[in-house]
Chains A and B, each alone.
Chain A
Amino acid sequence: MVRWTQKLMREVAREEREALGLTDADKLDPYALAEEHGIAVYTLSELREWDLSDEAHTHFFTSSTAKWSAALVPLGAARVIIDNDGHASVRRRASVAHELGHHLLEHAFDASLTGNHDRLFDQEKEKQATFMAGELLIPDSAAYKAARAGWSNAQVAHAFGVSEQFAQMQMKGPRVVVARSRRKSYNY
Chain B
Amino acid sequence: MGDELTVDVQSLHASLDKARESLGLSWRQLAKEIGVSPSTISRMANGLKPDVTAFAAMTTWLKLPAEDFYVGNDRGDRDEPDLVAQLVPLLRARKDLKREDIEYLEEMIGAAARRFRAEKEPRG
Contact = CB atoms under 8 A, between A and B. Distances in A.
B115 A50 contact: yes
Interface string A55-88: 1100110001011111111111111101000000
Contacts of A79: 42, 45-46
A75 B92 contact: no
A68 B45 contact: no
Contact of B39 (A19, A48, A95): A19
Interface string B61-93: 000000000000000000111110011111111
Chain A, interface SS category: mixed
Contacts of A47: 108, 111-112, 115
B23 interface: no
B38 to A, nearest CB: 8
Contact of B17 (A15, A16, A70, A77): A77
A99 B90 contact: yes
A143 to B, nearest CB: 22
B88 A74 contact: yes
B95 A78 contact: no
Given A2-B26, A77-B79, 19 more contacts: A37-B46, A38-B44, A49-B115, A50-B115, A68-B94, A68-B105, A74-B89, A75-B81, A77-B14, A78-B46, A80-B112, A82-B108, A82-B109, A109-B88, A109-B89, A110-B88, A113-B89, A117-B95, A117-B97
Interface of A: 1-2, 12, 15-16, 19, 36-40, 42, 44, 46-53, 55-56, 59-60, 64, 66-80, 82, 95, 98-99, 102-104, 106-107, 109-114, 117, 120-121, 125, 129
15 contacts: A37-B42, A39-B46, A40-B46, A46-B115, A50-B115, A56-B104, A64-B101, A66-B94, A71-B93, A71-B108, A73-B89, A75-B86, A76-B80, A77-B13, A104-B38
